[in-house]
Amino acid sequence: MITPDPWTRLQSLTRARIALGRRGASLPTREVLAFGLSHAQARDAVHQPLDVAALACGFHAAGYLTRTVTSQAADRGVYLRRPDWGRRLAEASAQQLQTWPAPPGRLVFVIGDGLSSLATQRHSLPLLEALAAYFPDLHACPVVIATQARVALGDEVGQLLGADMVVVLIGERPGLSSPDSLGIYLTGQPRVGLTDAARNCISNVRPEGLPYAEAARKLAFLIAGARQLGRTGVDLKDDSDERLPGERPEPFLLSAAF
């Protein structure tokens, strides 16, 4: 006999593990097994390699110009032990970007595997397609697909490509209810050595969290705000939720000056 929990009706309001019930002094077997499955999915999300070929094919089919790079972390084990190596490009990748005949984009996208390649594989392209509604020339922006990547890797990529802004889409650390959350980081005037105070972050992008359309709206407001202010980070506030319902930032060309 499983003793029900009085909070059961609240389960529909959250993905958190509440109102699990009990069997004697322990959890029901089904909940123990469900926890084990979620833990395994979180671990798999960290270690599963990004399918770079499939991701690049999807971006090419959507009309984006892409390049693939790697960080200084040679493999997943090194990546997890040395976060600093995940923040810098491998020498060959840096040289490749320096000779890339990409358009001098004012905005560059870096698609990184991070701590959940599953999130990057599933959500990065749909998010960019949602963002394209705000910027007529979005498909002209260079897209760099990075493996063994940390957020700050985007600073070096943006610096090498002469970007005014860089947007890093990267898999977030998995949770026991969200193994595929995508994070968005916007950084103005990217260069090696910046701290997180120079960035704006949008978190938990996925259909079960922050939907693509809402994440794209927030990112569009931040890009527009960064263009007006001339910088990002702690000086740039996300006031998109304070706007009138349905209000959108005015579309503008990303090739315009920062």
Q: How far apart are CA 210 and CA 221, in angstroms?
A: 15
Query: What's the angle, vertex CA 173, arms to CA 167 and CA 177, rounded to 5?
Result: 120
Residue 3: CA count within 13 A, CB half-sphere: 6
Tell me what the mean pLDDT of segment 17-22 comes to: 79
Q: Which residues of 142-167 are buried (b: 16+ CB within 10 A; e: fewer)?
A: bbbbbbbbbbbbbbbbbbbbebbbbb
| Separation between Cα atoms, residue 44 and residue 19, nearest integer Å | 27
Q: Among 57-66, 76-85, 123-132, 171-180, name the one with the lowest average pLDDT.
A: 171-180
The domains of the chain are located at: 50-242
Across 161-165, average pLDDT: 93
Residue 2 has pLDDT above 90, yes or no: no
In whole angstroms, give the CA distance from residue 141 to residue 109: 7
- Those residues whose C-beta lies under 8 Å from the C-beta of residue 141, and which sit 6 or more positions away, are 64, 105, 107, 108, 109, 254
> Could you tell me the pLDDT band of residue 17, with boundaries at 50, 70 and 90?
confident
The response to whether 151 counts as a known ligand-binding position is yes
Q: Looking at per-residue confidence, does 230 or 20 come out higher?
A: 230
Lookup result for tokens 């939720």: 241
Q: What is the pLDDT of residue 160?
A: 95
Q: Whole-prediction pTM value? A: 0.87
Cβ 37 vs Cβ 43: under 8 Å: no
User: Confidence band (pLDDT; 50, 70, 90) for 255?
Assistant: low
- Residue pLDDT, tens place only, 177-200: 788 999 999 999 999 999 999 999
pLDDT of amino acid 145: 98
For the 50-242 domain, the top CATH level (class) is alpha beta
Most confident region among 39-43, 55-59, 226-230, 254-258 by mean pLDDT:
55-59
Query: What confidence category does residue 104 fall into, taking pLDDT thresholds of 50, 70 and 90?
Result: low
pLDDT value for 257: 47
Instruction: Give the closest residue to 251 by CA, choosing from 166, 169, 132, 129.
Output: 132
Write the CB contacts of 245 (distance below 8 Å, at least 6 apart in sequence).
none
Report yes or no: 144 and 128 within 8 Å, Cβ to Cβ.
no
Q: What is the mean pLDDT of residues 102-110?
A: 82
Tell me what percent of the chain is helix, strand and coil, each rounded to the nearest 5: 40, 15, 45
Query: Does 141 have pLDDT greater than 80?
Result: yes
Look at strands 182-188 and 165-171 and give their pairing: antiparallel
User: 201 labelled as ligand-binding?
Assistant: yes
**pLDDT score of 18 more than 80:** no
pLDDT exceeds 90 at position 117: yes
Average of per-residue pLDDT values in the chain: 89
* Strongest mean pLDDT among 103-107, 124-128, 206-210: 124-128
Give residue 124's pLDDT. 98
User: What gap in Å lies between CA 178 and CA 93, rounded to an integer?
Assistant: 31
Instruction: Indicate the residue type of 202.
Output: I
Is 214 labelled as part of a ligand binding site?
A: no
Tokens of 43: 């671990």
CA distance 143 to 59: 8
Q: What is the pLDDT of residues 26-67, one digit of tens each?
A: 888 888 888 898 889 888 888 899 999 999 999 999 999 999
Instruction: Look at the block and give the residue holding tokens 């963002």.
Output: 131
Please compute, for residue 94, the number of CA atoms within 13 A of its CA located in the half-sphere on the CB side. 12
State which of 26-30, 232-236, 254-258 shows the largest mean pLDDT. 232-236
